[in-house]
Amino acid sequence: MKICGIELKGNDTILAVIEVEFNIINYISLKLKKISIQNDEDKSEIESFHETIKTFLRDNNIDKIIIKKRAKRGKFAGGADTFKMEGIIQLNGQCDVNFTSSQAIAVYKKSNAVVIPRDLLKYQEEAYLSALTGI
């Protein structure tokens, strides 16, 4: 099973893909590590984002997406762009989308010996940890 962990941050969709076979977890280093929207009011850019996500999921045979939740209100609330990107991802039509929280990630890290792959970029860590919680 291939799981894509996603962290939505600013105008970026940060991606990390793992494959789980026979309880063995492998990080898959892909060329595409994030997808951005520069102008969320530009229809062609939104359509391009949608097509890029769909193509990424199809080409990499993703079975499940796990998105790290963001606060909806308050000082640390996610921006409007992140919620727009989340909605587009949920409408991908190719695989299930589930959510994980910071608390679930913390519990997973505490309960498991998490090893961060060497070729995982620092900014991808939360997306990677999100994917792990979806196993």
Residue 78 pLDDT exceeds 90: no
Average pLDDT score over the chain: 95
Strand blocks (E) in the chain = 2-9, 12-21, 24-28, 34-36, 64-68, 96-100
Residue 82 pLDDT exceeds 90: yes
pLDDT for position 76: 67
Task: Give CA 124 to chain center in angstroms.
Answer: 9
pLDDT for position 80: 81
- Answer for the pair 32, 53: CB distance below 8 angstroms, yes or no: no
pLDDT in tens, 103-122: 999 999 999 999 999 999 99
Q: What are phi and psi of 89, to 5 degrees?
A: -65, -40
Domains of the chain plus CATH, in order, are 2-133 (3.30.420.10)
Among 30, 21, 23, 22, smallest CA distance to 128 is for 30
Task: Categorize the per-residue pLDDT at 19 as very low, low, confident or very high, splitting at 50, 70 and 90.
Answer: very high
pLDDT in tens, 26-50: 999 999 999 999 999 999 999 999 9
Element (H, E) at 86: helix 80-90
